[in-house]
């Protein structure tokens, strides 16, 4: 528990630092935001009014403290493009991004679990080598390139799946899901190799433990040994990696959401970057960073739950 408390303190410090860096990044944007908002034919007085309205006339530290206070109390400001409150804009798009990330992770796991385990069981066999080599090839395809290939093959050539767009879940499960298949696959087809690689090497180590030989000597079926005895100790690095990958997926979702026209947080963010909608940028980056940090913290908790050694060992060190 002391270990987790220490981690929590560290994570809060990281979050605080993130808000400062984000604020700094956004507030060195060149050009006067007030002019952008007012439009080309606005008079000087109108620009001045907007500036006062947004509080841009005051020094940056004051604005930072005010913004941070707002963030903590749930008031993230308003988008100057649409007038929509930032927190609502993010929250209405968040489910789309979340669904994308979850489906991508499930797909990657579905590929990685069988391939990684069989590779570990038959280490250095032909199957193992084919998986390893195939992994190298998949890993060399960036997600935007994978997206283009998938659009070409499944959308334009075979005409199986829609290439862009989004339908809410209320339109039906399949109608909703089919729009997520290609975007999620764009991630999963590269990510599985990382997961399978980690799982394979951990699993090889675990399979050499005495208690596995013992279970085998007792005549326990291989499948039961794998799922009951070997999976838990072999899954630690896998879980860490899954957590870390969420960060990578959130970053990548910016590009994938724009390619497939999915209305998620990533697309909101890139739109606001081009439009210099600074409060939305600040809000999105903060939101993403919080999500990343929270996920990694939960991974740490999972770790402690799965492996009692972490609870005792790390709390002393």
Partner 1 sequence: MASATTHNKFDPVTSQEQDNQAAREAARRRARRGVFFWGPTAWLGFIVFCAVFADILPLQSSDEMDFTALSATPWEAEGHLLGTDLQGRDVLSRILYGARVSLTVGVVATAIGMTFGLMIGLIAGYYRGWIETAITLGLDTLLALPGLVVLLLASVIFGGSLTVVSVSLGFLLIPAFARVSRANTLNFAQREFVVAAKAMGATDLRIIVLEILPNVVLPVAAYALVVVAFAIVIEGALSFLGLSVPSPTPSWGGMIAEGRESLGDTPHISFVPATVMFLTVLSFNLVGDDLRGRLADLRESAL
Assess 193 for contact with partner 1 (CB under 8 A): no
Residues with Cβ within 8 Å of 180's Cβ and at least 6 positions away in sequence, in order, are: 99, 100, 103, 262
CA separation, residue 211 to residues 122, 215, 219, 225, 254 (Å) = 19, 6, 13, 10, 46
CA 71/CA 79 separation, integer angstroms: 14
Q: Is the dihedral of CA 138, 139, 144, 145 positive or negative?
A: negative
Assess 310 for contact with partner 1 (CB under 8 A): no
Tell me whether residue 236 or residue 297 sits nearer to partner 1 (CB atom).
Answer: 297
Please give the structure tokens belonging to residue 58: 């005051």
3-state helix, strand, coil in the chain (%, to 5): 80, 0, 20
Assess 216 for contact with partner 1 (CB under 8 A): yes
Tell me whether residue 48 or residue 233 sits nearer to partner 1 (CB atom).
Answer: 233
Tell me whether residue 6 or residue 168 sits nearer to partner 1 (CB atom).
Answer: 6
Between residue 45 and residue 84, which ones bind partner 1 under the rule CB under 8 A? none
What is the pattern of x (binds partner 1, CB under 8 A) and - over residues 249-268?
-xxx-xx--xx---------
Please, what is the minimum distance in Å from the beta carbon of residue 49 to partner 1?
Answer: 26
Please, what is the minimum distance in Å from the beta carbon of residue 273 to partner 1?
Answer: 5
Stretch that binds partner 1, among 20-28, 55-63, 81-89, 93-101 (CB under 8 A): 20-28
Please give the structure tokens belonging to residue 66: 């005010």
Assess 220 for contact with partner 1 (CB under 8 A): no
CA 274/CA 280 separation, integer angstroms: 11
Q: Residue count at the site for partner 1 (CB under 8 A)?
A: 59
Tell me whether residue 58 or residue 122 sits nearer to partner 1 (CB atom).
Answer: 122
Assess 301 for contact with partner 1 (CB under 8 A): no
HEC letters along 98-131: HHHHHHHHHHHHHHHHHHHHHHHHCCCCHHHHHH
Helix (H, G, I), strand (E, B) or coil at 42: coil
Assess 30 for contact with partner 1 (CB under 8 A): yes
Please, what is the minimum distance in Å from the beta carbon of residue 164 to partner 1?
Answer: 11
Tell me whether residue 60 or residue 145 sits nearer to partner 1 (CB atom).
Answer: 145
Q: Which of 38, 71, 189, 281 binds partner 1 (CB under 8 A)?
A: 281
Per DSSP, the residues of 133-177 read HHHHHHHTS-HHHHHHHHIIIIIIIS--S-SS----GGG-HHHHH
Between residue 108 and residue 127, which ones bind partner 1 under the rule CB under 8 A? 121-123
Please, what is the minimum distance in Å from the beta carbon of residue 27 to partner 1?
Answer: 10
The answer to whether 225 and 216 are in contact (CB under 8 A) is yes
CA 246/CA 131 separation, integer angstroms: 23
Residues with Cβ within 8 Å of 224's Cβ and at least 6 positions away in sequence, in order, are: none
Assess 25 for contact with partner 1 (CB under 8 A): yes
Please, what is the minimum distance in Å from the beta carbon of residue 147 to partner 1?
Answer: 9
CA 217/CA 188 separation, integer angstroms: 38
- List of residues contacting partner 1 (CB under 8 A): 10, 13-15, 17-18, 21-22, 25-26, 28-30, 121-123, 133, 136-137, 139-145, 148-149, 151-152, 156, 204, 207-210, 213, 216, 222, 247, 250-252, 254-255, 258-259, 269-270, 273-274, 276, 281, 284-285, 288-289, 292-293
């Amino acid at each position: 528990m002391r270990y987790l408390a220490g981690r929590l303190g560290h994570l809060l410090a990281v979050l605080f630092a993130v808000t400062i860096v984000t604020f700094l990044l956004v507030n060195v944007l060149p050009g006067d935001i007030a002019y952008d908002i007012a439009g080309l034919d606005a008079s000087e007085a109108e620009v001045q009014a907007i500036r006062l309205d947004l509080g841009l006339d005051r020094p940056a530290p004051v604005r930072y403290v005010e913004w941070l206070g707002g963030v903590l109390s749930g008031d993230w400001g308003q988008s100057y493009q649409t007038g929509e409150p930032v927190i609502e804009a993010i929250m209405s798009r968040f489910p789309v991004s979340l669904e994308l990330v979850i489906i991508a992770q499930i797909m990657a796991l579905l590929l990685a679990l069988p391939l990684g385990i069989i590779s570990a069981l038959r280490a250095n066999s032909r199957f193992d080598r084919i998986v390893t080599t195939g992994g190298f090839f998949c890993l060399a395809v960036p997600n935007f390139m994978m997206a283009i290939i998938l659009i070409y093959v499944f959308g334009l050539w075979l005409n199986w799946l829609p290439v862009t767009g989004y339908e809410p879940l209320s339109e039906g499960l399949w109608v909703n899901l089919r729009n997520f298949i290609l975007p999620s696959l764009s991630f999963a087809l590269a990510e599985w190799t990382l997961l399978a690689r980690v799982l394979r090497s951990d699993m090889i180590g675990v399979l050499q433990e005495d208690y596995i030989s013992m279970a085998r000597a007792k005549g326990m079926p291989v499948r039961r040994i794998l799922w009951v005895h070997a999976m838990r100790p072999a899954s630690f690095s896998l879980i860490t990696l899954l957590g870390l990958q969420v960060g990578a997926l959130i970053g990548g979702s910016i590009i994938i959401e724009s390619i497939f026209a999915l209305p998620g947080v990533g697309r909101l963010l890139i739109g606001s970057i081009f439009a210099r909608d600074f409060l939305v940028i600040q809000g999105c980056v903060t939101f993403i960073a919080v999500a990343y940090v929270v996920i990694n913290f939960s991974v740490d908790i999972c770790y402690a739950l799965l492996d009692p050694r972490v609870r005792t060992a790390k709390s002393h060190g």
